[in-house]
Chains A and B, each alone.
Chain A
Amino acid sequence: MAQSSGVSESDLLRRCAGGDEEAFTLLYCRFQAPVYRFALQMSGSKAIAEEVTQEVFIALISAAPRADAERPLIAWLLSVARNQVLRNRTRDSRYNSLDDSISEPAAREDQLCNLEQRESLQRLRRAILALPPRYRGVVILCELEEMSYEQAAQALDCAVGTVRSRLHRARTLLAGRMRSGMRCPA
């Protein structure tokens, strides 16, 4: 895997548009993890997350010549990923079949050996997947990916205020579900 050399996004995009495979590989290495994790948390399925990640970077190959230099690339990639996940959910039965897909924390490697903590993480994961898509996206970007409100707003194509209000509503829902110990529907 190629190492990112600290080259700016705009330079990499320009080289990528010109057919430089090395530049494309650097972009992929830089952004493949957040795109994959976002797709996984949104869909709850590894198979869908892999498909969405592939589609997002194939879209990048075609769109590199027209890339907007003003907008951060991660916001564009996550926006495409969100649209792909929402498009797939209506036609794919694998969507939201989370029980067998998401990796369980390995009891041997994980320093959290407390069963209760393990179960509470699983419960939280399921609660996030049970949220409506518009709340799930803000929780994943702002809480799990630790993006700023502005970056999340660009990725979700909405205003910063909308992100704040949705995040507040999502946290309220999560807290309620965790308190009541509800399991998300299959």
Chain B
Amino acid sequence: MIDSGSKLDGALRELAGEIARRERPPAALETVLRRSFRRHHARRRMITGIKIAALAACLTFAFAAATVAIRKLLATPPRVAEDRPLAKPADNRRMARPESPLQAIPIRKPPKRRSIQRPRPRPEESEVTTGFLTVGAGLTLGTPDRGSVVRVRLPRSALVAFGLPLNQNRPSDLVNADVLLGEDGMARAIRFVH
């Protein structure tokens, strides 16, 4: 039996040698561990590949979305009123709802009709008239020294009295007519205006 420290040391050394010579793990354990190693790294490569693919997909989507947004922005021109004098710009300007977060596009409100000053065309430049027709039996036009031409509106049916054709569909419509008045105020002649 062991009864001293030195003997204990000897026994421990002997036991250490015995264990080192005899105790080893089974050979199959190495095979199992190598298989685990391969499986672990195959899984890591797959996970890395998935992460890269997901990142690439996100970048592609972001790029495509940005491209569409920029194209939309460039394709929509700002609305501007043409050939019309604008009133006060500050009154007519308002901010449109921004189509993109990039900037707001100011647009101009079209001015009101009242402010449009369009010159009226002169009547004689755009009217067609008949010749003067005498009014009243036995009267001749002659050459009046003084007289005046008065513009009146008569129903279309008056055309018949002067031998002019009448549109039967619109007998009650009014037509313009110029009446030549003599010095005595009596109607001398009439012409119809179209």
Contacts and interface: CB of A to CB of B under 8 A. Distances in A.
B26 A50 contact: yes
Contacts of B88: none
Contacts of B45: 19
Contacts of B1: 120, 178-179, 181
B29 interface: yes
Main secondary structure of the interface of A (DSSP, over half): helix
Given A178-B1, A179-B3, A144 B15 contact: yes
15 contacts: A21-B38, A28-B30, A32-B29, A41-B19, A53-B25, A58-B33, A112-B14, A120-B2, A121-B11, A121-B14, A121-B15, A125-B15, A139-B12, A143-B16, A171-B5
Contact of A54 (B8, B12, B29): B29
A50 B29 contact: yes
Contacts of A175: 2-5, 8
A118 B70 CA distance: 89
A121 B12 CA distance: 8
B24 interface: yes
Contacts of A105: 18, 22
A33 B24 contact: yes
A145 B16 contact: yes
Interface in B21-78: 22-27, 29-30, 32-34, 36-38, 40-41, 44-45
Interface in A103-162: 103, 105, 110, 112, 117, 120-121, 124-125, 139, 143-146
A24 B34 contact: yes
Contacts of B139: none
B189 to A, nearest CB: 116
A124 B37 contact: no
A59 B14 CA distance: 32
Contacts of A171: 5, 8
How big is the A interface, by class? 35 or more
A33 B25 CA distance: 7
A57 B32 CA distance: 11
Contacts of B27: 1
Contacts of A95: none
Contact of A124 (B2, B29, B34, B41): B2
B32 A174 contact: no
A71 B41 CA distance: 24
A4 to B, nearest CB: 14
Contacts of B16: 143-146
Nearest to A139: B12
A37 interface: yes
A76 to B, nearest CB: 17
Contacts of A36: 23-25
Interface string A79-119: 00000000000000000000000010100001010000100
B34 A25 contact: yes
Contacts of B25: 32-33, 36, 49-50, 53
A144 B12 contact: yes
B39 to A, nearest CB: 9
B160 interface: no
B41 A19 contact: yes
A116 to B, nearest CB: 8
B95 interface: no
A110 B15 CA distance: 12
B50 to A, nearest CB: 17
